[in-house]
Amino acid sequence: MAIAKTGKIYPEIFRFTMGDFEITTILDGLIQRDGPYPIFGQNVNENEVHRLLKENLLPERQFEHGFTPILVNTGNDLILFDPGNGKLNEKHGRLISLLESSGYNHNDVTKIVITHCHPDHIGGLMYINDGYFSNATIIIGATEFDCWNTGKNIPEQRKANKELFEKICIPLADKMEFIKPDQEVVTGITAVNGFGHSPGHMCYNIESNNKTIFFAADITNHYVVSMQVPDWHVMFDDIKDLAVDSRKRILGMLAKEKIPMIGYHMPFPAVGYVEEKNDGGFKWLPISYQLSF
């Protein structure tokens, strides 16, 4: 008797504690793409990228891209960082159902923090028009909002993205609070300048009861290609040289201080450590049980 195959199954929800905070990572979706070259390594020869992938036992002409919003429960606030793809891509916009599967209701969310305005980070704001997240204010970087609103430092390749920003974000401006680097969202959660991937791309340091984790958002978009050789240019980065500077600065800090990191596009559960290599690059070390104690 033939037994039917039932398809791939991926883990989709991961939760741990960090001090007095409870943190949940949610896999909004996965997409398989051609590449990584020329998306990654735009300023080098294709063979260099293929060599690095082969050294890391990865396919040379395909890669997988995940999207990981996070929830931080401080006890007083439930903060959602980047609401994912939302209705822009129903296949990869699974936030609402997974949020509820994790034990929360969308109306429990008190703040939505937008790290930057690329489509896979603002698409989920469209849920608000359907009555979701009715108790949430929106936190967004002042520089990020101003650049998309005025078009300053927005490259031509992001023309459609700017139109999407105008459609999604401008109507919600009255629900927004604007933040600058080094300002707090709430006590223990501080904005960090990660400019470059987008003009005002922001990361967040999360600290509670003397324990720290860092939400790096899109400071790096691949756990090998843009970490092991952070100088390589990435198509997704809007201001290439500034993105490289921010990537090296932040990854260097995380490696030196041994602070765990959550990365929006890291392999799920998207939590790990950064190790500095002798050649100036970095290595991703996925967590195992370090956060269980």
Tokens 């290439």, residue located: 240
Q: Which residues pair with 118 in a beta bridge?
A: none
Q: What is the DSSP letter of 68?
A: -
pLDDT at position 89 is: 75
Q: What is the mean pLDDT of residues 158-170?
A: 97
- What pLDDT score does 8 carry? 86
Q: How many CB atoms lie within 10 A of CB 8?
A: 6
How much is the mean pLDDT over the chain?
A: 96
How many other CB atoms are found less than 10 A from the CB of residue 47? 11
Percent of the chain with pLDDT over 90: 95
Instruction: Centre a 10 Å sphere on the Cβ of residue 61 and count the other Cβ atoms it contains.
Output: 11
What are phi and psi for residue 112, nearest 5 degrees?
-115, 120
Residue 34 vs residue 87, higher pLDDT: 34
Handedness of CA 35, 59, 31, 282 (dihedral sign): negative
Q: Is the pLDDT of residue 92 over 80?
A: no
Residue 126 pLDDT greater than 70, yes or no: yes
Q: What is the pLDDT of residue 1?
A: 83
pLDDT score recorded for residue 88: 87
What's the pLDDT score for residue 22?
98
pTM as predicted: 0.96
Q: Please tell me the least confidently modeled range out of 60-69, 89-98, 209-218.
A: 89-98
pLDDT of residue 161: 97
Asked whether 248 and 48 are in contact (CB, 8 A), the reply is no
Is residue 222 within 8 Å of residue 261, measured between CB atoms?
no
Domains of the chain with CATH codes: 13-292 (3.60.15.10)
pLDDT of residue 90: 62
E strand spans, the chain: 13-18, 21-26, 29-34, 62-67, 70-73, 78-81, 111-114, 137-141, 176-179, 184-186, 189-193, 202-208, 211-217, 261-263, 271-276, 282-286
Furthest-apart CA pair in the chain: how many Å?
A: 64
pLDDT (0 to 100) of residue 91: 66
Res. 293 pLDDT band, cuts 50 70 90: confident
Contact (Cβ atoms closer than 8 angstroms) between residue 219 and residue 251: yes
Q: Residue 117: phi, psi to the nearest 5?
A: -105, 30
Q: Which helix (H) or strand (E) holds 257?
A: helix 240-257
How many Å apart are CA 197 and CA 187, to the nearest integer? 26
What the block records as the tokens of 112 is 């939505």
Predicted confidence at residue 87, as pLDDT, reads 83
d(CA 181, CA 142): 9
